[in-house]
Amino acid sequence: MIKTILSAAGEPIFHLTAGDASYVISIFHGFPLHLYAGPAIDDDDVEYLLVRVGHDSVVPRPAHTPEGWFSCDIAPFEYPAYGSGDFRPSAVMAKMLTNAQADGSVPVTGGAPTTAVMYESHEILAGKPVLDTCPAIHAADDECETLVLHCADPATALKYDLYYTVMRDYPAVCRRTVIRNTSADISATLLRAYSASLDFTTVDPQAELVHLWGTWGRERHMERTPLLHGSMSVNSRRGASSHYHNPFAALVTSETTEESGMAVGMSLIYSGNFDITADVDAFGLTRLMAGISPDGFEWRLDPGAEFVTPEAVIVLSGEGLGKMSRVYHKLYRKHLCRGEWADRERPILVNNWEATYFNFDDEKLVAIAEDAAKCGIEMLVMDDGWFGIRNDDRSSLGDWFVNEDKIRCGLGKLVEKVNALGLKFGIWFEPEMISPVSKLYEAHPEWALQTTGRPMSISRSQYVLDMTREDVRDYLFETISGVLSSANIEYVKWDFNRNLTEAGSALLPAERGGEIFHRYVLGLYDLLERLTSAFPHILLEGCSSGGGRFDPAMLYYSPQFWTSDDTDAMERLDIQLGTSFVYPASSMSCHVSASPNHQTGRVTSFTTRGNVAMAGAFGYELDLTKLSDEEKDLIRKQTADYHRYYDIINRGDLYRLVLPTDNYNGKTGKCASWMYVSEDRSEALFTFVVIRTSVHPVYFVKLCGLEPKAVYVDQATGKEYYGSTLMNAGLNLTKNYRDGDSVVVHLVRK
Ligand code: GLA
């Protein structure tokens, strides 16, 4: 997987082979430079890619490099440092006295935080070392290899270890950086510390960026935009990865499609403030970098201390965005999600939020469970409102004690009743929050994040707890554990419904203020680690006002996430297909809700609501007691289908055939279509949804991923097709549809 050769100048070149991709690094006069990333190549020494026409007069040249074409301003760096002639966005910027200044031999002068990252030595390790802090990819020793480039700033006591884990079976390279202060007595300050940076040496057709934007109820809409000269950044400064941008972007060219062309994905395993920047310089060279957002970030590195960045996962596809997504799906399902539920079939649940909101009691929940049991639903989830005196969203967060005015029989008894019906029981928490109207706030107002002298902004009538504090985390661990141990609870929905403002901690010294956001995230991970270790059987579902923290790091703890508070099936097409650019079906929680839909008022058939929700961790979010017998029959069919198709959908390959944003060949209205193919290509499940119909439309959809020479049988009609015909001529779906109609075709190889 990792091959080392020596360049003509006697410096190492590393050819990393990840699945069917190559990633080549060269040490050039001490600089770790990037030579290539993409579909596998055979040459190791591709240093020739670096050569540019002479720039000497306009760009600075490092003193130790020969005169000629080399300049830091055009060199493709593996980990670009600030201040010595690379004027593009830098991955690292550190303030520290130079060795000379520290010795006192030269007077200390002021100056910009000039930083350097120069190769010293390297190691190649079997497997992937566990660097304690943020969540990361895990793999067995024979499934990957790790290159560590030990680098240093020759002028200061700072050392930089650049980690590259190369996956054997995936075209994926996982990167993170460890920065160490080796001084015995002098502190350093990190102002930027990205996880990874990737410079593209070759100028391809017009570079474009694919990313996922959104807001509440409209998360992860895919946007594809040409990159112009200058920088484009997707980021969060909200304290959470957020609804607004996902910590993911892909670099593609104007020629890339779903199934062809270059696609380089950069996905950051992190839940806090992040930045992904794509920068195109004057020569058309593109830099793509990902890491903790430098906005407000300032990390003091004491003597002997080290800082470990979150991990960035780079996926290299030469076969379009579809392959990139399929690699992320499998990699995240098998090597990011952990625990008993990582790849296990998830129970079909009914959640009472849209059924009752805050207006429920034990009897109402049991009534819903009774109907659920008759329809093949396997779990009841009791959402917000069961604790403190919470009858609306204005109180009680932090008071995690059962409200026995509502749950009159007590939680233990309620769970027993639900279990007796054959259903599992799940419960909602919003651990990181505190209501100003709560017993907890009366006792510990200092536990809320706040900044001395500044009024605290309120959002959804709540403040955010100071997760950097151990006493806060201990309180949460104990109270939540108390509830979880008091009854047979098999699922937890972990919500997070506001962003961080006036972020300050009573226990953090003023000079460490720039650490608060990252420390918050580390505190969150610590609590999640403690709770998931103490309750390994519990299925954890993440949530953040819908999908406001749907990121890879949360999937490390909670293998499924509530995709969006918008449960409208038509809206979900954009949201779910956008989410599918990175995240596996098993991680997307999708529920059938009432019609007219509560968020949009749109009326959609029960069948289509089911067909759309079937694309993920499936469930219901409506009052089952109000449904007709006909609708309950449909639920019985849907729950049976879910089990029948579970493997194809959740462990198969996804092909996005028509995106809602595509202008579908002008002969039709607006539609969306996707399909899953089982790993051995013996089965496929195709879904087609008409968003807005037109007059006499003509619909042909070309399928993907089948065996061309195999015959596939449509399980509903018995009609037989060759794979080649379905993929090249397409499936003829021409018919007069109504808005919101949908078609599902299950194909089985003969
Ligand atoms: C958030 C979640 C919802 C629900 C409510 C409860 O908005 O996204 O699913 O749990 O909180 O207050």
Delimit the domains of the chain by residue range: 2-335, 349-651, 654-749
Look at ligand 1, atom 4, and give the residue with the nearest C-alpha.
353
Spell out the residues 6+ positions from residue 432 whose beta carbon is closer than 8 angstroms to its own: 464, 465, 467, 496, 524
Residue 438 Cα to ligand 1 midpoint, Å, equals 19
Residue from 680, 678, 606 nearest 645 by CA: 678
**What distances in angstroms separate CA 738 from CA 463, 581, 600, 604, 741, one per listed residue?**
46, 28, 18, 10, 6
Report the nearest atom of ligand 1 relative to the CA of 543.
8
116 and 92 in contact (C-beta within 8 Å)? no
Confidence of residue 110 (pLDDT cuts 50, 70, 90): confident
Query: Is residue 290 pLDDT above 60, yes or no?
Result: yes
Residue 627 Cα to ligand 1 midpoint, Å, equals 23
Half-sphere exposure of 113 (CA within 13 A, CB side): 17
Residue 384 Cα to ligand 1 midpoint, Å, equals 7
pLDDT score recorded for residue 203: 57
Show which residues are catalytic: 495, 565
pLDDT score recorded for residue 205: 73
Burial class (CB in 10 A: 0-12, 13-18, 19+), 709: exposed
Look at ligand 1, atom 6, and give the residue with the nearest C-alpha.
384
Report the nearest atom of ligand 1 relative to the CA of 565.
8
Residue 461 Cα to ligand 1 midpoint, Å, equals 14
Residue 321 Cα to ligand 1 midpoint, Å, equals 32
Ligand 1, CB within 6 Å, residue ranges: 353, 383-384, 393, 428, 495, 497, 543, 545-546, 562, 565
Report the nearest atom of ligand 1 relative to the CA of 383.
10
Query: What is the rounded average pLDDT of the residues 104-131?
Result: 91
Please, what is the angle between helix 362-375 and helix 629-651, to 10°?
70
159-198 pLDDT tens trace: 999 999 999 999 999 999 999 999 999 999 999 999 999 9
**What distances in angstroms separate CA 254 from CA 189, 207, 706, one per listed residue?**
40, 6, 27
211-247 pLDDT tens trace: 999 999 999 999 999 999 999 999 999 999 999 999 9
Confidence of residue 272 (pLDDT cuts 50, 70, 90): very high
654 and 326 in contact (C-beta within 8 Å)? yes
Cis omega (within 30 of 0) for bond into 60: no
Look at ligand 1, atom 7, and give the residue with the nearest C-alpha.
545
Q: Rounded to two decimals, what is the model's pTM?
A: 0.98
614-667 pLDDT tens trace: 999 999 999 999 999 999 999 999 999 999 999 999 999 999 999 998 876 667
Confidence of residue 563 (pLDDT cuts 50, 70, 90): very high
291-336 pLDDT tens trace: 999 999 999 999 999 999 999 999 999 999 999 999 999 999 999 9
Instruction: Provide the Cα torsion 40, 46, 49, 50; round to 10°.
Output: 130
Residue from 170, 87, 123, 156 nearest 4 by CA: 123
Class of domain 2-335 (CATH, top level): mainly beta
Residue in this structure with the two tokens 């003829």, named with its chain if needed: 732
Residue 651 Cα to ligand 1 midpoint, Å, equals 28
pLDDT score recorded for residue 665: 62
Class of domain 349-651 (CATH, top level): alpha beta
61-100 pLDDT tens trace: 888 888 777 889 989 999 999 999 999 999 999 999 888 8
For domain 654-749, the CATH architecture is Sandwich (2.60)
User: How many helices (H) and strands (E) in the chain?
Assistant: 13, 38
Pocket test for ligand 1, best of 396, 543, 549, 550 (most atoms within 8 A of CB): 543
Neighbours of 603 (CB within 10 A): 11
Look at ligand 1, atom 11, and give the residue with the nearest C-alpha.
545
Residue 64 Cα to ligand 1 midpoint, Å, equals 59
Residue from 115, 153, 94, 159 nearest 306 by CA: 159
DSSP conformational letter for 462: B
Query: Is residue 54 pLDDT above 80, yes or no?
Result: no
